[in-house]
Amino acid sequence: MSFEAFVVTKEGEDVQTAVRSLDDDALVDGDVVIDVAWSAVNYKDAMVTQPGNRVARISPLIPGADLAGTVAASDDPAIAVGTEVLAQGYDLGVSHHGGFAGRARVPTGWVVPLPVGLSARDAMVIGIAGFTAVLSLARLAQVGVTPGDGPIVVTGATGGVGSMAVSLLARHGFEVVASSGKASEHDYLRGLGASRVIGREDLTSDGARVLGEERWAGAVDCVGGAALAGLLRSTRYGGAVVATGLTGGPALETTVYPFIVRHVALLGVDTVSTPIDERRALWSEMATHFPAATLEAFVAREIGLGQLAGTLDAMLASQGRGRTLVRLGG
């Protein structure tokens, strides 16, 4: 069967993108073929289009780390033809063709049946961004951070992960402070549940001090770099900072003082290698975290494959907001 796909090709350090018509022979190994109905844009999808990137591991590559649709063929009796499913993470869109195509073939161990109450489109509004927010909330809970402890700050708040984290934390009773570089999006962030919005520079304005004012009971950080160092300096005694991303840079320059003087915890989140049983269990409860009726607030745009190249460039230039959905199905 033929289908359209957004294809990234690397030649040395140069990267080309194009929408091409492919057939099933172009798909890579797997036990389950999925007619993809929806995908969504994640930051990693933009990274694989960057010249010189080391994120794309094969060429040509169909990016798209998130996909949802209907099983068209299956070697696994537990995943029947016609089942509505999603797949995300693992090698998808990096070293295995991903969701920016009308068809995908994936290992059965990557497949998650869609939870009751969520459509394929709903699942892609939530996608990796919502999954990251849920894992971040669990990390805060693991070290005993509760709504009574004080405000939680979310950095990169208008992004996919940031938007979902603001909303999820607010729905779980936390006072949420959103940190954003976009002055035009304060109403959006308040609408998601932020009690107030601060600028990006607010977190780094304490200069070279090793410890700053104790402001936050916790943080969900999508930015890394100087923002993460600033969060560590300004987290209260016994608080926790969850590191999820690197849009502000991968380097972290800090001292040990937040850890040995303030008892602050720095916690990682990884959504790529989450064991499939845990991923399926977390998705089965996703509609309780993100009810379908609340999801439209996160949707910035629906696009087709032809609009992807421009959308990915805009994402790297921090021009996006919330979730951009990619429509594949009829």
User: Which residues of this chain interact with ligand NAP, rule CB under 6 A?
Assistant: 42-44, 128-129, 132, 156-162, 180-182, 200, 222-223, 244-248, 269-272, 315, 318, 320
To the nearest whole angstrom, how small is the minimum distance from the Cβ of residue 305 to ligand NAP? 19
To the nearest whole angstrom, how small is the minimum distance from the Cβ of residue 129 to ligand NAP? 5
Six token digits for residue 325: 């959905």
| β-bridge pairing 216-221 and 152-155 | parallel
Nearer to ligand NAP, 38 or 43 (CB): 43
Show the 3-state SS of 92-160. Answer: ECCCECCCCECEEEECHHHEEECCCCCCHHHHHHHHHHHHHHHHHHHHHHHCCCCHHHCCEEEECCCCH
To the nearest whole angstrom, how small is the minimum distance from the Cβ of residue 160 to ligand NAP? 4
SS3 content of the chain, % helix, strand, coil (to 5): 35, 30, 40
The type of residue at 264 is: V
To the nearest whole angstrom, how small is the minimum distance from the Cβ of residue 223 to ligand NAP? 4
Nearer to ligand NAP, 120 or 223 (CB): 223
Confirm if 262 and 236 have CB atoms less than 8 A apart. Answer: yes
Nearer to ligand NAP, 27 or 46 (CB): 46
Six token digits for residue 265: 């915890």
To the nearest whole angstrom, how small is the minimum distance from the Cβ of residue 165 to ligand NAP? 9
- Nearest residue to ligand NAP, scored by beta-carbon proximity: 159
Nearer to ligand NAP, 31 or 313 (CB): 313
Nearer to ligand NAP, 5 or 128 (CB): 128
